[in-house]
Chain A
Amino acid sequence: MSTLKCECGHVNPVGTELCERCGKPFDEKDQGILYMRYEGAALRSRKKNKTFVDYIWNFFASVKVGVGLLVITLIVSMFGTIYPQQMYIPATADPYQYYPDQYGFAGFLYVSLGFHQMYSSWWYITLLLLSGISIVVSSIDRGIPLYRSLKNQQVRRHPRFMQRQRISGRVVVDDPEQTLANVADVLKSMRYKVMTGEKAVMGEKNRFSRWGAYVVHLGLIVLLLGALLRILPGFSMDQYVWIRDGETVPVPGTENKYYIKSEGFEVEFYEQNDEEGPLIPEEFRTEAVLYENMATQSGQRELREIKRHTIRVNDPLRHEGLSFYQSDYKMNEFSQFTFALTHQESGEEVGLVEIDLFDPASEYDLGNGFKVELVEYYPDFELDAKKEPQTKSPIPNNPAFIFRVITPDNPAGETSMVLIQQTIVAPGAENEYALKIKNIAFNNVTGLMVRTERSLPIIYFGLALIMLGLVISFYWQHKRIWVQEQDGAIMLAAYTHKNWFSFKQEVERLIDLTGLPLDKRTLDKEVPMDE
């Protein structure tokens, strides 16, 4: 491995432009102002392409590529917000039909290009990953050599380094040693960190400001990681749970670790001023209780209450990254039917049959030899293709019952069918006894969205790092002033990475306070100073 040995004795990596220690420019022909952003350190990516690895490295280390990737990612991210993502359209809708129906040809394009599930598509994630790689590689490529250079720098600099700074000057004084001591004192009074070397003084301030950009990079990486973690199982979850009043159900996606109970869902309406207008809901709320299941086996419960909360819109129940949001509701679902067993002719009631629609009994004994057997129960009655009675769903939207009524006079029983919401004349119309609906009890059902977003703290941390990095690089600046004796004269040079105007004023103040007879007007090679 070839290295570059400077005349000061320091061994630099190949590709170094300015000696890490004394700053001597290795390119002797050029006489212009030195490019100091990376302190003339050897950047891998500045090497000519040699191997395949170098080629890939240089591609990702390129600022153009990095900025390009980020810009493309941002623009593409915007496309995903034009129409709702697939998770926000009705779950039963076919996206290839839904989008064109809703949004016409644009919707067709949208769904054809896969924008309806963009944020988890392979190409979007590839884009995020490429941006991430570019940030990591370019940070390593520049950050490490820059750090090395700043760490290895010595106080006394090579005269050509001094000469080729943007701010530099040379003047002959009577007593160089006294002048240097004076400069050191003044720099100290200007709150510079002063280092002295062999007939040389360097004042340095706020070196950490150079790392601001890298803190921003780190923040971006953390942010990308947070976004990518969402696609791993367990980090992000969107589930839905329906709970009837009084019911306790396992929380989906938690492997039965948590159970949630609704102690009642309610809608409150605004008081109405005029009687015509529709009722306007004021508040939806669920009295919820969260339990932890201590039983280790599925199907078994050993619940321990951990939290109680009234869930309202925008006021979810939260526990260890799980959040339950009020999202939907269903009012007045049938929960219980009360029938009166009635003698058809006399209208006399024999007794009441209370049927829990979610857990009906198979027979109801009314005493005195009267018994009602529930022969068949269809919570959501329909006739299937073969004209056989079936249930469409387990929810009692349209309950149908077949009863056998056993009376003291008729121990074999008579059969009758009762359908709600449909007045089919049941085969039991000519029966002696009929079951007449006496009372119906209703339940409310609450729909809760269950979400986990474990990557959120990571995302916030990333944003905080970005902010910190921006503050570091905006509000502070790295400043260095070198003053040294060279061949009986005093040389001065100064460098900062931004905000030259205020820095020049500081250099002028140094000159004024030390009384160095330097011509301030010729100090800055780029912009001659005004009087």
Chain B
Amino acid sequence: MKNKINAVFLGIVWLIMAAGLCRAVLCPKEMSSEENRYANRLTRPTLSSFFDGSFQDGVEAALSDQALGSGMARSGCNLVSSGINEALLSGLYAANQDRYIRIGEGLSSFGGYLVYDTRELKKMAPGLDRGAGEINAFAASHPDVPVYAYYIEKDTDINFETGEKPGLYGYLAERLALPPANVSAFRIDSFEDYAGRFFRTDHHWDYRGSYQGYREVLELLDGGIPLEPVGEVTLDRPLSGSKAIESGGKGVRTEDFTAYRFEYPPMSVTVNGSAAGDYGAQEAWINGSADGELSYGSFYGGDFGEVVFDTGSGGENLLVLGESHDNAIIKLLAANFGRTYSVDLRYYEVQTGRKFSLGEYVEANGIDKVLFIGSIGFYTSDDLILED
């Protein structure tokens, strides 16, 4: 009897262990739904990847993501941990709304908002120099194509406790060799500015911030009359945004998701070369028919290498080079242009299978205006390479 009990025990332990390996090898999952990102998968080893350790790191990451129940385990642990944290410290949070309360690596709570650390100019300067250099080089070699830059200030651009700003935008603007009228920013000069325009639990701007950004960008581009919202809706599902997930507080740290409703003109949408019904699912979320998890991306539209909007109006063609902040406004911008091309350099090559060359892209698509839009992460990104 004792032997049987032990045999069953050893069998179960072995199966628990082997199941993770089988899942990772035989039927790996595509997405880590709990963290709203692509799940790591096993890759083929090479001699160099084995010797530099990157293969081993990849295996560990893949097995952590692919092990059966790993997502649930991760969510459960984080939920308990952040639940205890919130329960024990709710008084502390309430009494110290005007101070940074650190809850994770680079992430704090301030005034009921999850905020990132303020970036230091000396650390960001090399990246900004490189980004500005790329933009300047393109502008210099294509004087016939107007180039615009819109910088989005956010929590990384100001210390809310002291009100001090590291001057990241000013530094970038000084280095951009573009006409001053072609450079502008979404300014955050106080916590009040920030709180009225960004999500509490997500790193993106909210409906008011993104709409303000849209209007400012349109003015920068001299793009005509902006669309006006026809209503304001608060969804019946709460949002646990990217920062909540990052802090391990998914489901614990939540907020209402409010959005403006717009009447968009008819337009076709192409994502990475394939026709798509729409970009994002704003109407579906508003009328309650959307499936899946509510997020900034699932509402406004996700990050894709290339999205093309065509209103068929025969107006100017706009190219938007940016990151996820522009997801909330590219459909709005598209209403004011003939064709609007949105390229996310982080994904373009991987998702379309094509190398990106801005000069060739502009020429091939008859681009009339090029807009760079993003926050500090975009302008300092290693992906901001415009020519091979």
A binds B: no
Which B residues are closer than 8 A to A by beta carbons? Answer: none
